[in-house]
Amino acid sequence: MKRKIALLLSIAILFGFRPPKKNENNNQTLELDKALNTNNSLLWQISGNGLNQPSYLFGTIHIISTQDYFLGKNVQKKLENSHELIMEMDLENMDIAALSAISILDSGKTIKNYLSDSDYQIIQTFMEDSIGVKKFTFEQFYARLKPFYLEQLIYIKYLGQDKESYEDNLKKIADRKKITVSGLETMEEQLQFLEEIPIAVQLKSMIKTIKEYSSETARLDALIKDYKSENLEALSKAFEAEEDTIWNDKLLVKRNNNWIPALQMKMEKKSCFIAVGAGHLGGAHGLIALLKAKGYTLEPIASN
């Protein structure tokens, strides 16, 4: 289930991001918050290991329905008192044409080239009856998309018409406070990890989603409920239970390890607010464990 909510990666380009402004924060010393007596928090304080000021790690959902969206007051406070907002993507250097091209199947193929007639019909019928995509439009455009992108349409539709982006809202706060904004990856680099997921694996995921739509959306509802209650332990277990380990290896484990050196370098210079998908936080290969292994102290603190 992690890919359903933590991998709505390409959606960020639909929101109106503005160039980051130069940081004008003063150099006040930030005091450490008292740690919670539970690990179930989306907001973690990073200190120790020679850091002059603490940094903060916050778990997001990239897209969520407006009625489920929330942002704790302490989350906003920590961001406003930080010197840099670090998110997954570098949103200032995107090649829209390249992004469009990478989402299309190669050599003029459609998903029909990879499926049995019966499975293709299942997908086409579902897209028309449940998503509202007419057969002609599906065959001419949507069927040319790589399965991952097509599957996202199902979940975006399920989330409803009114949606929020944590990244968009955090960036608005940073822009208003003139805080530097940066990304751990370019959009192209992030999407390139999807290129490492075989088409067959992507198709298997999408067909499973359609055939088991009721149970899949029920699991998504449970995941959102755990997110809203900041139950990081339950979220971590849900991500670890992903049956296709290639998703975990390519899109979480590998990227988490790639991010650590960049985070260390930035935190040594200034107080940073790190906002990444909640799926990247917990577990043996999560950012919390990886940063602890580097000698930092990570403590859960109140988000509100």
Reported as a single tens digit per residue, the pLDDT across 104-138 is 898 889 999 999 999 999 999 999 998 889 999 99
Is residue 2 predicted with pLDDT exceeding 50? no
CA–CA distance from 212 to each of 18, 117, 207, 225, 231 (Å)? 39, 19, 8, 20, 25
Q: Give me the pLDDT at residue 92, please.
A: 65
Residue closest to 214 by CA, chosen among 153, 125, 130, 138: 130
Q: How confident is the model at residue 192 (pLDDT cuts 50, 70, 90)?
A: confident
Q: Give me the pLDDT at residue 156, please.
A: 85
CA atoms within 13 A on the CB side of 255: 27
Mean pLDDT (the chain) is 85
Is residue 43 predicted with pLDDT exceeding 80? yes
Q: Give me the pLDDT at residue 94, please.
A: 64
- Between CA 84 and CA 169 the distance in angstroms is 15
| pTM for the structure as a whole | 0.84
Residue of higher predicted confidence among 209 and 102: 209
The angle formed by the CA atoms of residues 237, 240 and 242, to the nearest 5 degrees, is 120
- Between CA 168 and CA 66 the distance in angstroms is 13
- Between CA 157 and CA 188 the distance in angstroms is 25
Alpha-carbon torsion angle 12, 154, 277, 18, nearest 10: 10
3-state secondary structure of 27: coil
